[in-house]
Structure 1
Amino acid sequence: MVHVVTYLVVGVVASIVLDYASLFSRPVISDYMVEFGSVSLFVGPLIQVLRGLIIAAVLLPFRGVFAQRRGWLWLWLLLVGIGILSTSAAAPSSLEGIVYTQLPLWYHAIGLPEMLVQTLAFSVLVALYERHPEGLLAVLPPVFERLVRALVSASLAFVGYAVISVAFALLAGASIDAEQSLSVQVQGLFVGPFLINFVLAFLAAGGLTLTRRILVGLGSYVLSTAAILTYQVIVLGSPDIAYAAIAPLLPAIAVWLLVPKRDAAKTNQPEA
């Protein structure tokens, strides 16, 4: 969870600040990196879930170390030393990459801030979790717990939109144009559903019974569908009913699954 959230937040900021769209189109760089805005960019968030699971599995035996006073530092140095500077493959910003690739030195340097910030944020948050076995959210004020849960739910739901959008385009035989896909007009389509899922997840963060959790999932689907159709009509000019009906499915399921369960016995309410 920590990897997915830090990767998405830092990655979005870096792509805007460093203008990845023009950066990846430069000579030599364009031969190494896929076009910014291609299918790979939209599949990327889904891959981060798998990467997070792999990272978690590998680090699990060392979790006791990360709970120490300087545990975040040891974890960060481990990620920087092995994961960035001394990779086995000739990756950008690594020693192998500098020696064995034709990538210019400025490209090796320009990506370092993003990787250092993301791995630092990851290390600090993981260490905080390990230092609080009862759960990091438990030591924060209730409103922060709700905000964090809502942000995670909305972010993972957004991954669902990326997957379905790519699948929809491929099945329709449509080409994915980088400039068009990343335009404000196209990306604005997802703002409404993201906010809807964030608000629903925030309101339900305290835990709900099974029946109400299902209602939250249905609410996410219905409201997101309506938001997509409305945006398509007003901004894009015409509705795509098939897309509007299919796109919110995975996100709604994600929101439903991430709503905490509430013990019916404690609330004196019968569990459906």
Structure 2
Amino acid sequence: MNAGPERVELPGGKIGVLLFQAKNQDWASAISAQTGDFVLSISTSARDIFVQARKEFLHLQTRCETIFVASFGEGAMAALSIAQEFGDEVSGLILIEPVITSDERALRKNYQQVSENLDLIEHPLLLMYSIGETGEEFSQAQEIAENVSSAYIREIVLNDQMTSTTVEETILFMKEVEFGFWPATNEVDDDTELIDAEFESIVAGLSLDQASPSNFLDNLDLPDPDEHFIEPNPALAPIHDRTKRNAIFAMIGGPIYALAAGVTGFNPLGVEPWPGVLAFFGGLAFFLYSLRDDYTDEDGAIL
């Protein structure tokens, strides 16, 4: 095992790629040649790879404005540790055939710490892996995808480790992030915050918590001041209008007179029951006429 990591620096522009690789210089050279970006590649064979990774990232920050972290195989753990430590200073994470286990006893503690904090990864993430015969590589890639907090994850299944495919997908991913197609998760849109605040306000108003006496559900139990029900009085109200009183008297007395004239032969006027009949209909007509004002409004129009 080498005493120190093998280091290859390919100078370029303001975009940098920190690559943790396992003897795969073709990929680094292709990225540098096709994009003109600054590529810093270090081997993953050193025991102090996590310490060296941090050192190289800080060095790359002095040379570039935007930094992507990429890895092949076992370099995934070093790439993940950098993303966890530096947060939004990393623009995106590219993991090719990631391996998140190690037989090296000296690295187990670091590997365990990185694995337990995968939820700290909130960066745009590009995962490229092959299914393989055992499916182990697939399962490790899925473990990463299921435990990170990234809102933007792209998974590419490889038929084999074709350099051309991984290079093309990486360049496309970097350009999409650079032009804002994959915004960082810490850049929360103001409209989203406003919508969340309004939603929380509505939920608070509809709360079922009985400790709050003024919520919406409690107000439903209060009587509506605009709606009143007047209980009817079973006692007959006195009739103060003299015309109505006379009309009612005629409607009552008329039938009694007609009945008495027809049954008993009572006929003081000589016209038999007709006075009673006329009194009834006359009283009814006067009574209805007296109610006419109740069906008019203030301007006299009939409703």
- TM-score for both structures, normalised by structure 1: 0.21
- Asked which structure has the greater CA Rg, the reply is 2
Indicate the structure with greater strand content: 2
Indicate the structure with greater helix content: 1
- TM-score for both structures, normalised by structure 2: 0.19
